[in-house]
Structure 1
Amino acid sequence: MTRRTAIVIGSGIGGIACAIRLQSLGFDTRIVEQLNDVGGRAYVRRAEGFTFDMGPTVLTVPHFIEELFSLERDVAMLTAPDFPDDVLGDGQRIVSGISGGPNTSRYLDIVPVLPFYRIYFDDGTFFDYDADPVNVRAQIARLAPEDLDGYDRFHEAARAIFQRGFLELGYTYFGSLGSMLKVVPDLLKLGAVQPLFSLISKYFKSDKMRQVFSFEPLLIGGNPLKVPAIYAMIHFVEKTWGVHYAMGGTGALVKALVVKFEELGGTLQLGAKVARIDIEKRGRQRVATGVTLASGETLAADLVVSNADYATTYLKLIDTAHRRINRDVVVKFRKQSMSLMVIYFGYEKREGDPDVRHHNIILGPRYEELLTDIFERKILAEDFSQYLHVPTLTDPSLAPEGHHAAYTLIPVPNTLGDVDWDAVGEGFADKVLNFLDDRGYIPGLRERLVYRSFVTPDYFEQVLGAYAGNGFGVEPRLTQTAFFRPHNRSEDITNLYLVGQGTQPGGGTPSVMMSAKMTAREIARDYAVDPRIVAGMPA
């Protein structure tokens, strides 16, 4: 019997995860990647002995990773519980050892990180954010004692949203408006459709606590002022399963997933830029039949999955004649997430260095106003906030002996603004690094800096192929959530599917892994891979 074939465009985490699942479903799967190495936004930069993850660095819900490493060839696990009881301990806390589950540990080491984040305020105070309720309450008492009761009430509200929005609906594919309307009453009852910052403001009086409990959507490209309050579940996702780090960096996780994919019989083709998705007209249907590479090579397949940027997939890889739903005006109408400037730097260690953490959120003097500048006005403000990542505090192997490797990530407008990054990039990078030095986060950084490079929104647009230089795909907001978010099964073209942060359920490492499973389920339904599997899938 001839095996079905699949092509996955792009080797981001979502693309690789989907390719692994397709291979386990019995498809001969080929990943085509335009760059010279895997990862997409999770690409790795190596220079002068330093190793830098260029993109995602926060890993949560480690049993999603464990499930991928547990898959076998032609043995699908689409009916396995999405949130198995054995990953939960007392009080829904992470069970000891699950950070690197038994199958994951055959490929790489994953370790918990504490605190999850150290959040610095502009006045120099900080909040160590973790899952320990005693610690959290102690820090609230230190910084904003008036908010202790509010935290208890927020905690219960977030728990309810997490239970319904993540544990019960997390893997629901909203392919029809009716599927979404069924759950709207529950979400309204939970207050999950109002803006997150509005929900937070009901429980917290202090500006500091409002920032602490609302910043997390920024890590997936969302504006806390605009994302629906269902994103309060991020707080409980982290609280339940912790924040983790792959030794060797996220790039080590990507490489391990590729090893797993190839062990299952999958094929990876690097330096293979896709020029177009090949489509045939069959009666009234448009059917994807493979891809044509920029080199002119044509690769035929029974189905195509795009892990490329949603807008780029439709605007650049598919002729307008084949797009009835995802027309140019519709695709361009969707709001794109903000972009990023990321500065990668290596510096000499020094005795008595300040006690920064693995993950640091350094907030500027403005919060709501800065978010509006970035997301709505699309201007580069004088002030900024940043996420400082110093992984060598956990994993010294990423830098030469006696040095740290770090990056700092600054949310900035996407390229739909008018910032000339060729003109301002160098000066802005200097400004950010000087800030870390002058404000005492890394004192003396100027003198001990031994390596520096950076990327701007132009990198996301020109190298990664992200429309408008977006950092996280389509912006998560109420009108672009669930059914209103781009669909994992193309409405225009039979046998074409999408996966990754631009599709359902959204951005972030756990979500793109969820997206991979959701897309694989739709493919299994469409191809009736195994009636028992399809019958066992949730509607």
Structure 2
Amino acid sequence: MKKAVVIGSGIGGLAMGIRLCSLGFDTTVLEKLDAPGGRAYVRRAQGFTFDMGPTVITVPHFIEELFSLGRGDPRLGQPDFPPAVLGEDKRVREGVSGGPNTSRYVTLVPILPFYRIYFDDGTFFDYDGDPLRTREQIRALAPEDLEGYEHFHRDARAIFERGFLELGYTHFGDVGTMLRVVPDLLRLDAVRTLFSFAKKYFKNPKMRQVFSFETLLVGGNPLSVPAIYAMIHFVEKTWGIHFAMGGTGALVRGFVRKLEELGGRIRYGAEVSRINVTRRGGRKVATGVTLASGEVLHADAVVSNADYAHTYLKLVEPQHRLWNADPVVRARRQSMSLVVIYFGFKADGSEGERLRHHNILLGPRYEELLKDIFGRKVLAKDFSQYLHVPTLTDPSLAPPGHHAAYTLVPVPHNGSGLDWELLGEPFVNKVLGFLEQRGYLPNLSERLVYKSFVTPDYFEHTLLSHLGNAFGPEPVLMQSAFFRPHNRSEDVARLYLVGAGAQPGAGTPSVMMSAKMTARLVAQDFGLPLEGSDVLSTRVVEPVA
């Protein structure tokens, strides 16, 4: 039986581990921390449970597919978007999420509205994907943009159908694959920036923000990501936004259980210090990993769910890298970082009057604040934030009579030179003070019983993300598709990448897509058929002489 090692137990790494088991590999997932999840690690304190990372779950059939896999049944050749999951999903309106296999591991529930988006003047927009409700709110806030929305809706749908449904699982491993889709991207006007795309349709600044902010949740600057990301609007509209009862950590635990049921294993406290490479038949081949403890694990395939830049700069020795040499890796633009504040407070019964499960609180500046974060890399006096209050849906995440929440503030990555040891605490107090003073959480300082936070230093030193980035390489045009790091290493045979730093990009659905794309490459390299229940471990063949 062939062996595989996965570095990192983020959602992408766990999804990859499950898929490798389904291909018949003896699979071990290695995790530096003491529990699974990576960015989706869980923090527990004083009876509160906090998801430290992703909280927005969409495209539930991706999850259902993972929980449906069996050993020797990889389902890699089946349609990625079967007819049953296309079109408006009435189950979201009926309060049902996921599928029968998902429900064996975790309970998913729909969240409505998807987001409550507050503007700095106190007005808000509830985005829930409902066409009538969306138009009613545009009529109330920006009636001049009703016609523009119809055109945006039409064109964003076209981008979604081509860019996500048809091309979403395409691995752009060569120039030819990229060149074949360029005419379509140009025809759809999907290569201009997303904010510029939104400005074509909306006159009102509020509507421009509503229909462009979502890329910030995957590390993208609306002023610079390509307009193909307008498809996020339709991804959410088509399949809804969901929550795992017990938090995203419950979904992670479900993935770990599935991995172990398929014969895989996960090791904690197992930091990788080097990917071992040897020469065979004139080729450089990954043969396993060396742990920080000095232990050597041999493997026939190595998959890194670690940060892309960390993988190449720290784990693969320079003499083994040409395409991903140090100057190339360091030249890539990194996504922004985050300050995330985890806090628990006494409930007063009013939390659900103004807030929802997911809240976007936009500051007084939009374009200039984005330029401060991504371009000038300075800590601005103002900020925008994503406020997550999951106990409005699942009270079990806090002690009785309390709420657990986190608020996430985009900030520059550590290439800025900002000293978070000095800036962290005052900045956190300023953000929490804002929530109290603006009436989102009245009297918060009196009700607060727990507070902790992470800064870009956490992403750099604990999660080992280059410059403390929170989402991998920034998804600008020249770092998308073919120009994004490839899931199959160009330098080292049998070395693969998965997750936010690889294709197609960051976000929970994307990293699950990344796992499927990478699994297909592994199957090709090891001579495995892509579909059918006859895929057995004995059919794995050595691809390298």
TM-score normalized by the length of structure 1: 0.97
| Distance in 2 (alpha carbons) for counterparts of 1:271 and 1:352 | 42
| Distance in 1 (alpha carbons) for counterparts of 2:127 and 2:397 | 25
Q: Is the 8 A contact 2:58 2:239 kept in 1?
A: yes
Number of the residue aligned with 2:383: 384
Number of the residue aligned with 2:435: 436
| Distance in 1 (alpha carbons) for counterparts of 2:391 and 2:204 | 33
Asked if 1:141 corresponds to 2:139, the answer is: yes
Gaps in structure 2 of 5+ consecutive residues: 536-545
| Distance in 2 (alpha carbons) for counterparts of 1:111 and 1:150 | 32
Q: Is the 8 A contact 2:106 2:251 kept in 1?
A: yes
| Distance in 2 (alpha carbons) for counterparts of 1:370 and 1:192 | 24
Q: Is the 8 A contact 1:87 1:94 kept in 2?
A: no
Number of the residue aligned with 1:267: 265
Q: Is the 8 A contact 1:93 1:240 kept in 2?
A: no
Q: Aligned partner of 1:192: which letter?
A: A
Q: Is the 8 A contact 2:73 2:531 kept in 1?
A: no
Q: Is the 8 A contact 2:89 2:239 kept in 1?
A: no
| Distance in 1 (alpha carbons) for counterparts of 2:206 and 2:127 | 13
| Distance in 1 (alpha carbons) for counterparts of 2:190 and 2:88 | 26
Number of aligned residue pairs: 533
Number of the residue aligned with 2:127: 129
Q: Aligned partner of 1:317: which letter?
A: L
Match of 1:30 among 22, 28, 31: 28
| Distance in 1 (alpha carbons) for counterparts of 2:429 and 2:88 | 47
| Distance in 2 (alpha carbons) for counterparts of 1:90 and 1:255 | 29
Q: Is the 8 A contact 2:302 2:496 kept in 1?
A: yes
| Distance in 2 (alpha carbons) for counterparts of 1:105 and 1:58 | 18
Number of the residue aligned with 1:115: 113
| Distance in 2 (alpha carbons) for counterparts of 1:94 and 1:285 | 50
Q: Is the 8 A contact 1:305 1:498 kept in 2?
A: yes
Number of the residue aligned with 1:483: 482
Match of 2:280 among 282, 297, 321: 282
Number of the residue aligned with 1:167: 165
Q: Is the 8 A contact 1:378 1:413 kept in 2?
A: yes
Number of the residue aligned with 2:539: none
| Distance in 2 (alpha carbons) for counterparts of 1:224 and 1:212 | 11
Gaps in structure 1 of 5+ consecutive residues: none
Partner SS, residue 411 of structure 1? strand
Distance 1:182 1:391, change over 3 A: same
Moved over 4 A (4+): 89-98, 531-534
| Distance in 1 (alpha carbons) for counterparts of 2:186 and 2:446 | 54
1:87 Cα offset (Å): 1.8
Q: Aligned partner of 2:344: which letter?
A: G
Number of the residue aligned with 2:13: 15
Distance 1:117 1:531, change over 3 A: closer
Asked if 1:198 corresponds to 2:205, the answer is: no
Worse-matched range after superposition: 31-40 or 80-89: 80-89
Partner SS, residue 100 of structure 1? coil
Distance 1:80 1:96, change over 3 A: farther
Partner SS, residue 99 of structure 1? coil
Distance 1:298 1:162, change over 3 A: same
* Percent of aligned pairs sharing the same letter: 68
- Matches for 1:4-153 after TM superposition, within 5 Å: 4-89=2-87, 99-153=97-151
Q: Aligned partner of 1:72: which letter?
A: G
Q: Aligned partner of 1:136: which letter?
A: T
1:99 Cα offset (Å): 1.3
Worse-matched range after superposition: 281-290 or 457-466: 281-290
Q: Aligned partner of 1:123: which letter?
A: D
Q: Aligned partner of 1:526: which letter?
A: D
| Distance in 2 (alpha carbons) for counterparts of 1:344 and 1:68 | 30
1:336 Cα offset (Å): 0.2
| Distance in 2 (alpha carbons) for counterparts of 1:497 and 1:441 | 45
Q: Is the 8 A contact 2:523 2:530 kept in 1?
A: no
Number of the residue aligned with 2:208: 210
Q: Aligned partner of 2:205: which letter?
A: D
Match of 2:153 among 152, 155, 164: 155
Partner SS, residue 135 of structure 2? helix
Number of the residue aligned with 2:541: none
| Distance in 2 (alpha carbons) for counterparts of 1:280 and 1:37 | 31
| Distance in 2 (alpha carbons) for counterparts of 1:76 and 1:520 | 9
| Distance in 1 (alpha carbons) for counterparts of 2:93 and 2:370 | 36
| Distance in 1 (alpha carbons) for counterparts of 2:93 and 2:139 | 28
Q: Aligned partner of 1:293: which letter?
A: L
| Distance in 1 (alpha carbons) for counterparts of 2:83 and 2:243 | 23
Partner SS, residue 304 of structure 1? strand
Residue deviations 1:42-97 (CA, integer Å, cap 9, x gap): 00000000000000000000000000000001111101211111123458985857
Distance 1:136 1:532, change over 3 A: closer
Worse-matched range after superposition: 112-121 or 71-80: 71-80
Distance 1:313 1:531, change over 3 A: closer
1:130 Cα offset (Å): 1.0
Q: Aligned partner of 1:342: which letter?
A: V
Match of 2:350 among 337, 341, 352: 352
Number of the residue aligned with 1:237: 235
Q: Is the 8 A contact 1:62 1:98 kept in 2?
A: no
Distance 1:532 1:31, change over 3 A: closer
Residue deviations 1:75-127 (CA, integer Å, cap 9, x gap): 11101211111123458985857612000001110000000000000000000
Asked if 1:453 corresponds to 2:434, the answer is: no
Q: Aligned partner of 1:423: which letter?
A: L
Q: Is the 8 A contact 1:63 1:98 kept in 2?
A: no
| Distance in 2 (alpha carbons) for counterparts of 1:372 and 1:218 | 13
- Matches for 1:203-352 after TM superposition, within 5 Å: 203-352=201-350
Distance 1:233 1:248, change over 3 A: same
Partner SS, residue 361 of structure 1? strand
| Distance in 1 (alpha carbons) for counterparts of 2:410 and 2:478 | 22
Number of the residue aligned with 2:410: 411
1:351 Cα offset (Å): 3.1
1:284 Cα offset (Å): 2.6
Q: Aligned partner of 1:451: which letter?
A: Y
| Distance in 2 (alpha carbons) for counterparts of 1:415 and 1:24 | 39
| Distance in 2 (alpha carbons) for counterparts of 1:395 and 1:32 | 31
Distance 1:149 1:221, change over 3 A: same
Residue deviations 1:199-234 (CA, integer Å, cap 9, x gap): 100000000000000000000000000000000000
